[in-house]
Amino acid sequence: MPYSSHPHPMSPLAITHSTLTNALGQGNAAVFSALKNQRSGLAPCDFLDITLDTYIGRVADLEALPVVSRLKDFDCRNNRLAQIALQQDEFEIAVVAAKARYGADRIAVIVGTSTSGILHTELAFRERDPVTGALPTSLHYRETHELSSAPAFVRHYLDLTGPMLSISTACSSSAKVFASAWRMLQADLCDAVVVGGVDSLCLTTLYGFASLELVASEPCRPADADRGGISIGEAAGFALLERRENTPDAKIGLLGYGESVDAHHMSTPHPEGLGAELAMQRALDRAGLVAGDIDYINLHGTASRTNDSAEDKAVSRLFGPHTPCSSTKGWTGHTLGAAGITEALIGLLCIEHGLIPGSLNTRHIDPSFTSQIVLQNENRPITRVLSNSFGFGGNNASLIIGRLDA
Amino acid sequence: MNIYLDSIGVIAPGMANWSEAIKTLTGVQAFAIHAPLPDFNVADLPATERRRAGKSVKLAVDLAAQAMASAFIDPTLPAAVFASTSGDTEVLTDICAALATDDRLISPMRFHNSVHNAASGYWTIAQQNRQPATAVALHNLTASAGLLEAAAQVVAENVPVLLVIYDMPFPPPLDAAEPIAAVFGMSFLLQPARTPHSMAQLSISLSMAESQTVNVMDNPELEALRIGVAAARGLPLLAALASVFSSGLVSGNVQTVVLEYVSPQVLIIAVQPIISGEPNT
């Protein structure tokens, strides 16, 4: 019973509430306003004492906004970012209402992150005891850095007592939270799921991607003939997922998801986009849709040479030359473990407001590309968005977000 | 959730595989937490990948190989769940140390080996397996979380799933901030329906903790392993399976194992051994 030969459609999940915080601002309205007005969140790197020649998508004011005092052991940049996101768009109120409906023990928390609060540990290493090498005792590894730091913080912050999981598959992490949520609901382990993605700026990813020569010295230019690499950003996003029968008024939901791996290379995508194509095809199969049903594709579109080229080939094979595609990483930067949910929820905002965002910063589309890369924003009603997220380890996930009544 | 267990792999101090683990878990063989770790085999990795892989990848890939070999399944078929609290603790420590130096240089290979899904990446490359693969964590509850994620995938997607649960200690100085007592790992091949290789049916559910007592290990050394390593919190499940399969005479009795899960919930696993030739129920 392999996945590829088992494409039975799934029951859609309602996305009853959602919220986004990233370099474009705090909350959905700020993020959408930047998209609509083509205002990028990328700026020259001014993070800590880092001297890399690059642009970053930084969330303002995190340094001044510690986590609530009852959870002070969890205080780190990553959980500060999670907390700010949870405080937007009346998300907490929505969770309180869901608790009243289902009970706190029937609401799961699933969060994707690639590096969790590693910055906290990186900085602790600067303060090692010169004689013993010991780290300062102020390092709360479990609460700030271990991969369950963010979901545990979110679960405590929202006073939930249901199942919990941290997913860490590099840049597909917070796309895969939707798949795990669907399975958890299908297995009746819970009645609702708070899914999220949180990743924050740190030295590991900035210097790590620089070591791979994947970091651009200008704001990233996805799908551009002269693209020079990625711009790293930080972000958090959360969504409340419920069964459709419990939320008859819900308008937009998760229609499908597809997961795959490339089985090719640890840090380079399959050159023909084989795994990417599998993930998109599985998402279509899950949704019971065909390629022509998708109105807009939010590309992974990191602006690395290899990703954009492989993704273009995969998209072209499945969708041909007419489905509008763009990457929104020119706005937010590549938010790594938070990219999956950030871009899925950008897709949700685009459906709500009727917008196909153009690929910001892209000047000349790579002449070898055959998919329909759009450069200008276009205002028109759309029903279904496919969002791609691909990561190291060849780990791929595609999500389809769409109107439930279409 | 009802799933079928087709194979078991184990790597631990003094235990190189499931048959050695049976002896230890049933008291036939003594256990010492500081016993030497078996050598890694990593026969499944091509030479290039073997050179690039860190210790946690070798551990996880060998665990995967054990589960695949005794389940007699095409390695391109199962989806995979890799569960570990902190993944490659040596790579993480090296990177944090390098980033505290003046030049802050980290090697590209060390960077890609630092992702939590490194083991799943290496394993899927080696097997040319393009099924969904995930990497999860939940601190001390990682074993339960991995089992729950894998079981939900088996049931909801109706596919076989390879589950690998593994941990290794941090070197200094992070060992003080996050003590992990030993290297430990276990692996399972889980099926949605009974196969000729099925050893047991596992019925997995969540329950509120007040009414349930979490299983512990009777042997103090094994209990120290259970407490000291997140992956080893699943030992009571292995102990129940070992007691069933130790004598060669498989007992048909159901054993119920209670594992810790996120407070106030616990994970309940009813183990129903399958006696060869018994009709599918």
Rounded mean pLDDT, B65-89: 97
Query: How many Cβ pairs within 8 Å bridge chains A and B?
Result: 224
Assess whether the previous peptide bond of B173 is cis (omega < 30° from 0).
yes
DSSP B100: T
Q: What pLDDT sits at residue B249?
A: 59
Q: Cα–chain-centroid distance for residue B200?
A: 17
In this predicted model, what pLDDT tens digit does every residue of B87-127 receive, in sequence order? 999 999 999 999 999 999 999 999 999 999 999 999 999 99
In this predicted model, what pLDDT tens digit does every residue of A100-150 receive, in sequence order? 999 999 999 999 999 999 999 999 999 999 999 999 999 999 999 999 999
Give how far Cα B31 sits from Cα of A13, B35, B37, B219, Å: 48, 8, 12, 9
Q: How many structural domains comprise chain A?
A: 1
- Residue A383 tokens read as 């029903």
| HEC letters along chain A | CCHHHCCCCCCCEEEEEEEEEECCEECHHHHHHHHHCCCCCEEECCCCCCCCCCEEECCCCHHHCCCCHHHHHHCCHHHHHHHHHHCCCCHHHHHHHHHHHHCHHHEEEEEECCCCCHHHHHHHHCCCCCCCCCCCCCCCHHHHCCCCHHHHHHHHHCCCCCCEEEECCHHHHHHHHHHHHHHHHHCCCCCEEEEEEEECCCHHHHHHHHHCCCECCCCCCCCECCCCCECEECEEEEEEEEEHHHCCCCCEEEEEEEEEECCCCCCCCCCCCHHHHHHHHHHHHHHCCCHHHCCEEECCCCCCHHHHHHHHHHHHHHHCCCCEEECCHHHHCECHHHHHHHHHHHHHHHHHHCEECCCCCCCCECCCCCCEECCCCEECCCCEEEEEEEEHHHEEEEEEEEECCC
A4 domain residue, yes or no = no
Q: What pLDDT sits at residue B277?
A: 53
Contact B169, B199 (CB under 8 A): no
Query: Hey, are the CB atoms on B160 and A1 less than 8 Å from each other?
Result: yes
Query: Hey, are the CB atoms on B176 and A135 less than 8 Å from each other?
Result: yes
Residue B247 pLDDT grade (very low, low, confident, very high; cuts 50, 70, 90): low
Backbone angles phi, psi at B128, to 5 degrees: 55, 40
> Going from the N-terminus, what domains does chain B have, and what CATH number goes with each?
2-193 (3.40.47.10)
Distance in Å, alpha carbon of A389 to nearest chain B alpha carbon: 13
A8 domain residue, yes or no = no
Question: For residue A207, which residues of chain B lie inside 8 Å, CB to CB?
Answer: 99, 104-106
Question: For residue B127, which residues of chain A lie inside 8 Å, CB to CB?
Answer: 263
In this predicted model, what pLDDT tens digit does every residue of A256-313 receive, in sequence order? 999 999 999 999 999 999 999 999 999 999 999 999 999 999 999 999 999 999 999 9
Buried b (16+ CB within 10 A) or exposed e, A35-56: beeeebbbeebebeeeebebbb
Which residues are paired to B81 by β-bridges? B134, B163
- Closest residue by Cα to residue A61 from A94, A98, A87: A87
What is the residue-averaged pLDDT of chain B? 94
Between β-strands B133-137 and B79-83, what pairing exists: parallel, antiparallel or unpaired?
parallel
Nearest CA in chain A to B155: A187
Domain span including residue A84: 13-403
A343 domain residue, yes or no = yes
A7 domain residue, yes or no = no
Query: Hey, are the CB atoms on A125 and B96 less than 8 Å from each other?
Result: yes
Residues in contact with A221: Cβ distance below 8 Å, sequence separation at least 6, in sequence order: A227, A228, A303, A330, A361, A362, A363
B220 near A CB under 8 A: no
A305 domain residue, yes or no = yes
pLDDT at B280 over 50: no
Distance in Å, alpha carbon of A238 to nearest chain B alpha carbon: 18
Query: Hey, are the CB atoms on B125 and A161 less than 8 Å from each other?
Result: no
B249 near A CB under 8 A: no
Residue B210 pLDDT grade (very low, low, confident, very high; cuts 50, 70, 90): confident
A43-50 contacts at long range (C-beta below 8 A, 24 or more positions apart): A45/A206, A47/A201, A47/A206, A48/A203, A50/A203, A50/A206
CA distance A353 to A385: 13
Backbone angles phi, psi at A205, to 5 degrees: -75, -40
The one-letter amino acid at A74: F
A203 domain residue, yes or no = yes
Which active-site residues of A does the annotation give?
Answer: 171, 300, 334
How large a percentage of chain A has pLDDT more than 70?
A: 98
Distance in Å, alpha carbon of B116 to nearest chain A alpha carbon: 6
In this predicted model, what pLDDT tens digit does every residue of B266-277 receive, in sequence order? 999 999 999 765
- Closest residue by Cα to residue B152 from A187, A175, A182: A187
Contact B260, B226 (CB under 8 A): no
Question: For residue A306, which residues of chain B lie inside 8 Å, CB to CB?
Answer: none
Query: Hey, are the CB atoms on B152 and A162 less than 8 Å from each other?
Result: no
**What is the CATH number for A29?**
3.40.47.10
Q: What pLDDT sits at residue B281?
A: 41
Distance in Å, alpha carbon of A399 to nearest chain B alpha carbon: 14
* Closest by Cβ to B156, choosing from A1, A183, A261: A183
A5 domain residue, yes or no = no
Q: What pLDDT sits at residue A3?
A: 54
Residues in contact with A375: Cβ distance below 8 Å, sequence separation at least 6, in sequence order: A326, A358, A359, A362, A365
Please, which residues 87-106 of chain B have a Cβ atom closer than 8 Å to chain A?
87, 92, 95-97, 99-100, 104-106
Question: For residue B76, which residues of chain A lie inside 8 Å, CB to CB?
Answer: 2
Question: For residue B158, which residues of chain A lie inside 8 Å, CB to CB?
Answer: 1, 6
Q: What pLDDT sits at residue B246?
A: 79
DSSP B12: B
Residue B250 pLDDT grade (very low, low, confident, very high; cuts 50, 70, 90): low
How many helices and strands in chain B, by DSSP H and E? 10, 8
